[in-house]
Amino acid sequence: MAKKTTMQTVQGDTQSRHVLGLSGGKDSAALAIYIKSRYPDIHQRVEYFFSDTGAELKEVYDFLDKLEAYLGKEIARLSSGKPFEHWLKVQNQYLPSAKQRWCTRVMKIKPFEEFIGDDPVITYIGIRADENREGYISHKATIKAVFPFIYDGLVRDDIFNILEDSVGIPEYYKWRSRSGCYFCFFQRQDEWLGLKRNHPELFEKAKAFEQQVRKKYDWKDGEVDAGGHGYTWSSQGTVDELVAKAEKREKERGIVASTETLPERWQDILRVAEDDDPEDQACLICSL
């Protein structure tokens, strides 16, 4: 497992590569901004990167462009080289799930480990002092993990202050609690509803994935139906069923999910909202 180290130690390490993975989410972005402000010598050495599945929301790409301009450094875009549809076919149309996160392994972690190779690396991870999770840490012996927010005692409120004083909070947080792919299987019912309202074309694509028929190869007849589908994104039902439940709950509570009807700014509501349960986080390397 990667070794944990301190900020004091890494400041003097000029032999290792320094890398910081950006998810398009609030914590990793705040960490990059914090590093630039608090540790400018480290900022000069850090290689910022983003593991791009090609299935991110447009708001994520827009936010990364804004962050790149603020940092004054390029954010390397890593890729598996193939779209999600290719890897889904390799997996015989089985959709990824919380128990089978093949998308994280193939489209996020593998490109990252190819990016760093066998070089000695210090990786900066955006987990806060008030969180109870570890995130993705490589098992390579050549990698040291450092947690600046934990080391310096920064908590959730600090992250919002950092963002609001610089690049702002990513726009998708108006209706979504996580970074990651538009079809992320960790999305709550109201987030699927948010996807349908804000990106109806992506919602339809996510629904179409659930309806794909699985295939198998028969030596006599070639590719034939295997029977059944690749299951649903959620164990609670199809995306249509999830949205219907969210709409019903919304009507029962008398809530209209639009920024115009909210009594506070969506940024303020997000600031006081609870984090997802550690077991219900987006893929480990995505959510940092």
User: Which residues, 6+ apart, have CB-to-CB distance to 90 below 8 Å?
Assistant: none
Q: Which of 204, 220, 228 is nearest to 92 (CA)?
A: 228
Please say if the pLDDT value at position 191 is more than 90: yes
Kindly state the percentage of the chain with pLDDT values over 70. 78
pTM of the model: 0.83
Residue 257 and residue 198 in contact, taking contact as beta carbons nearer than 8 Å:
no
**Confidence band (pLDDT; 50, 70, 90) for 11?**
confident
For 12, 31, 86, the CA distances from 39, given in Å and listed in that order, are 12, 11, 41
What integer pLDDT is reported at residue 284 of this predicted model? 54
Residue 288 clears pLDDT 50, i.e. is over it: no
The pLDDT tens digits of the residues spanning 251-262 come to 888 755 454 454
pLDDT in tens, 74-90: 999 999 999 999 999 89
In the predicted structure, residue 230 carries a pLDDT above the cut 90: no
Residue 174 has pLDDT above 50, yes or no: yes
